[in-house]
Structure 1
Amino acid sequence: MSSRSKVTDQGSSTAGHGIVRRRGAVLALLIAVVFVVFVLVGAKILVDRSVYTPVAMGPVDAPAADSATCAEITDDLPDRIGDYRDVGVVDPAPDGSAGYRDSGGTELSLRCGVNAPGQYTLLSSVQDSGGEQWLQIADATPGSELTTWYSVGHSPVVAVTTDGRISASDLSDLGEVIARHGDSANAPAPADVPLADQSATHSDDCSALENALPDNLGEYRRLAPDSVSPDTAEAIDGSLVWVADGREPVVLRCGVDLPDSYEAGAQLTQIDEVPWFQDTALAEGSTAGVWYALGYADTVAVSLPLDAGNSVLTAVSEAIDDTLERTAEQ
């Protein structure tokens, strides 16, 4: 009996040590897991602090930025706009401003009370998001990837700018805020269509030119008059229009007069067989210049965004030389 009892005691002792060892291993594992979690949490906090820093902003022309409505809008802004989260603005923060960043640190700036862009015309394509009308404008500066979305359905106008990815659908929550506080009755009115103020004599050669021009000029596509509102169709009567998302339109008008800025001996740019004169005066807020084709019985004017490239004028020059009558001087 004593021998059997001794064996039993040894077995119990061995089992007890095994349980203790397993408990120790489990405890060590739990400690290791907790340690890893703390390390990851700490690392995330450090990364967040280095990535989600306030956005620095300088002064801009925003005449309504200090208005009561802009104060209401900025006080009611969503914590997130798409993938961007609110990080604040470096002091001293301009009136009507807010700053956001995404997980990669890309900035998104918001300005309330700015002027409506000069690019906003009857030809502009706007998108509805959150009950607000949004106009997308791409920066025409070479190499720039900045895009600004302007709210044009209410007053005051809000501008959202980033060089990262953002779509109209990402602006839904912000659109609801603007629609809730803004004034739709005083929303900015679209400007006239480029060249609409220039009278034109529509000759048979001009009709031939219009028929010879392509439906696409690079990324620009030809706008059909029956695809727009009656007011817009009336505004573009006598002109050809090509449009592209986020860009000012290309507008062509045949049979116009030369501008007052043109003088004999003015610098011309030769593209294929066509000499062009560029009127360097820009409309306020616009990035489009007007080019005039010389040396033909019908003078052609083209309103051309600065970032449209020479390919547009090259295609137009070819069609002009094929269809219009040259003058004796040419």
Structure 2
Amino acid sequence: MTVRRPVSSRMRGVVASALAVLTLVLAGCSGAVEVDSPDVDARTRAACARFLDQVPEKVGDQARRKTEPASAPAAAWGDPPIVVTCGVGMPDDFDAFSRCQEVNGVGWYIPEEASTDQGSDVQMTTIGYRPTVRIDLPAEYRPPADVLVEISDVVKGTLVRTRRCF
């Protein structure tokens, strides 16, 4: 015969609190990343789908996460998230005189101030590929070399080159 001792209300409270904290922690790590969804035509959406089908499960040693809305032409990894969005426009500050940095044969526009301030978040946008791809990289993952190499390989292998880096 087994004798059960009654569980105190204090112990129930401790267990309930621990479960609540664990639930919040797990939800924070596994929740979907909210992304902007550019308005793209059917041709761009198809090209972006081919691109996103080829992005790796890990980028910069960070595991892939779900995105919201799920239909957005985007992918995300890690916490804080590295976000890649396909079908975007060029940044407002990009012009004919903007510097192009080439990584594995893919041209990238990286704003000048982001190149000098390694402690800031950065947006990096492809130059000369259609559709255009943007990487939003939190400062925690700087410098961006590994991420640029991994994504450049997929850009080069799946998207249409329209011009060389200038």
Offset from partner CA, 1:140-190 (integer Å, 9 cap, x none): xxxxx43101011311100111333331442112111111111112x5x99
CA distance in 2 between counterparts of 1:150 and 1:127 reads 10
CA contact (8 A) 2:36 2:72 kept: no
Runs ≥4 residues deviating over 4 A: 46-50
CA distance in 1 between counterparts of 2:63 and 2:100 reads 25
Give the secondary structure class of the aligned counterpart of 2:153: helix
Is there any run of 5+ residues in structure 1 with no aligned partner, and where? Answer: 1-45, 140-144, 191-228, 230-330
Give the secondary structure class of the aligned counterpart of 1:170: helix
1:74 corresponds, among 46, 52, 62, to: 52
2:104 is the alignment partner of 1:136 = no
Alignment map for 1:176-325 (pairs within 5 Å): 176-185=153-162, 187=163
CA distance in 1 between counterparts of 2:156 and 2:25 reads 35
1:123 corresponds, among 79, 97, 116, to: 97
Instruction: Assess, with a 3 A threshold, how the Cα gap between structure 1 residues 134 and 125 changes in structure 2: closer, same or farther.
Output: same
How far residue 96 of structure 1 moved from its aligned partner, in angstroms, is 1.0
1:163 corresponds, among 131, 138, 142, to: 138
CA contact (8 A) 1:56 1:89 kept: yes
Q: State the TM-score, normalized to the length of structure 2.
A: 0.66
Is there any run of 5+ residues in structure 2 with no aligned partner, and where? Answer: 1-23, 115-119
CA contact (8 A) 1:62 1:115 kept: no
Instruction: Assess, with a 3 A threshold, how the Cα gap between structure 1 residues 86 and 123 changes in structure 2: closer, same or farther.
Output: same
How far residue 48 of structure 1 moved from its aligned partner, in angstroms, is 6.6
CA distance in 2 between counterparts of 1:62 and 1:134 reads 22
2:126 is the alignment partner of 1:151 = yes
Q: Larger Cα Rg: Structure 1 or Structure 2?
A: 1
Q: Percent identity?
A: 21
How far residue 124 of structure 1 moved from its aligned partner, in angstroms, is 1.8
How far residue 50 of structure 1 moved from its aligned partner, in angstroms, is 4.2
Give the secondary structure class of the aligned counterpart of 1:134: strand
Offset from partner CA, 1:283-306 (integer Å, 9 cap, x none): xxxxxxxxxxxxxxxxxxxxxxxx
CA distance in 2 between counterparts of 1:177 and 1:70 reads 11
Q: Counterpart of 1:237? A: none
How far residue 62 of structure 1 moved from its aligned partner, in angstroms, is 4.4
CA distance in 2 between counterparts of 1:168 and 1:120 reads 21
CA distance in 2 between counterparts of 1:174 and 1:96 reads 15
CA distance in 2 between counterparts of 1:79 and 1:149 reads 20
2:81 is the alignment partner of 1:107 = yes
Q: Counterpart of 1:261? A: none
Give the secondary structure class of the aligned counterpart of 2:33: coil
CA distance in 2 between counterparts of 1:133 and 1:48 reads 38
**Letter paired with 1:114:** V
CA distance in 2 between counterparts of 1:52 and 1:128 reads 34
Instruction: Assess, with a 3 A threshold, how the Cα gap between structure 1 residues 126 and 84 changes in structure 2: closer, same or farther.
Output: farther
CA distance in 2 between counterparts of 1:54 and 1:109 reads 12
2:62 is the alignment partner of 1:84 = yes
Give the secondary structure class of the aligned counterpart of 1:150: strand
**Letter paired with 2:133:** V
CA distance in 2 between counterparts of 1:115 and 1:58 reads 12
